[in-house]
Amino acid sequence: MSGEIGRQKFREVMGNFATGVAVVTGGDPRGNPLGFTANAVTSVSLDPLLVLVAVDRDSTSLPALLESGSFALSFLRARDRGLALRFARSERDARFQGLALREDVTGAPILEQALAWVDCSIWKSVEAGDHLVVFGEVAGCGTQGHEDPLIFFQGRYGTISP
């Protein structure tokens, strides 16, 4: 059935579902940080505390992320559109230049300027079409500030005020 709908039509429809924007971070085997922008992120369970992120199976960061066994989610502020673009488009090695990072429980890097963050150990991963759904068990989390969030809607970044 999905072949009849077409990828472009599906993207258009799903683009009408506003999502938050996160930078998913981890480390490679040499201890270098890795990260990418994601909007397919959600909470899953309160017992145990679980989140998920859907990662393109062609992502060059995916193998190292899985090998590390942990990741962090840094939820972006409305003013962080440039940061979202940097982690979506720029060269992998340039993504962290000039950014303040910190760690919590797992050692995965967290963007210091994030509106909120979640630190996770990889709990499970499941193949789902051209993506891998990575479930994280929450080891730590927190918020800082009360600014508007960055959202993604109809192919563009924006914000919404409560």
Q: How many independent structural domains does the chain possess? A: 1
pTM reported for the whole predicted model: 0.93
pLDDT digits (tens, 9 = 90+) for 111-123: 999 999 999 999 9
Looking at residue 146, which CATH number applies to its domain?
2.30.110.10
Contact present, 111 and 97 (Cβ < 8 Å) = no
- Is residue 161 assigned to a domain? no
32 occurs within a structural domain: yes
Residues 6+ apart with CB under 8 A from 99: 111, 112, 113
Give the max Cα distance, the chain.
Answer: 47
Domain assignment of residue 23, given as a range: 2-155
In a domain, 79, yes or no: yes
Instruction: Take residue 107 and report the two structure tokens written for it.
Output: 């050692």
Residue 162 belongs to a domain? no
For residue 32, give the nearest of 124, 104, 123, 94 by alpha carbon: 94
Within a domain: residue 101? yes
* Residue 87 counted as domain residue: yes
Indicate the length of the chain as a whole number. 162
The answer as to whether 160 is a domain residue is no
81-110 pLDDT per residue, tens: 999 999 998 787 789 999 999 999 999 999
